[in-house]
Amino acid sequence: MIEQQDPLYAAQAELRHMKQTVAALRDELEHAQEQSEQAVQHAVSSASSETAQLKMTITALRDQLEESHASRGKAVRQAHAADEDELRQLKATVATLRDQLEAARMDKDRKSRVDRV
């Protein structure tokens, strides 16, 4: 009972209680800071991972686009070459038919002259 009435004892008890409260609050604050730092590190890690994935996706899409352009260019060149080849063949056929027609006309003209004589 003397302890309860002694103002020094009460002040010391209050001081101990406040020190315990400060220590508990400090521990809680440190824990909150650690959690906050971990959350920031996790967010940075996630963002870095997502950035790396996006860069890989961009690279893959760019490669596909370049391959598509190259493939399309090759197909156009092949089609153009095939068209040119067909055109050369048609011109050769026309020239051959023209020569044959001219030869047939000359034969016909010769026969006509021979028949007249």
What is the value of pTM for the model shown? 0.55
Q: What are the residue boundaries of the structural domains of the chain, listed by start?
A: 83-117
Q: Provide the pLDDT confidence category of residue 85 given band limits of 50, 70 and 90.
A: very high
pLDDT digits (tens, 9 = 90+) for 3-28: 557 899 999 999 999 999 999 999 99
What is the rounded CA–CA span in Å between residue 6 and residue 8? 5
User: Buried b / exposed e across 22-37, counting CB within 10 Å, b at 16+?
Assistant: eeeeeeeeeeeeeeee
Helices (H) and strands (E) in the chain, counts: 2, 0
pLDDT digits (tens, 9 = 90+) for 19-70: 999 999 999 999 999 999 999 999 999 999 999 999 999 999 999 999 999 9
Q: Let me know the angle formed at the C-alpha of 53 by 48 and 56, rounded to the nearest 5 degrees.
A: 125
pLDDT digits (tens, 9 = 90+) for 93-102: 999 999 999 9
Residue 95, CB-side half-sphere exposure with 13 Å CA sphere: 6
pLDDT at position 83 is 96
pLDDT at position 50 is 97
pLDDT at position 3 is 54
pLDDT at position 109 is 87
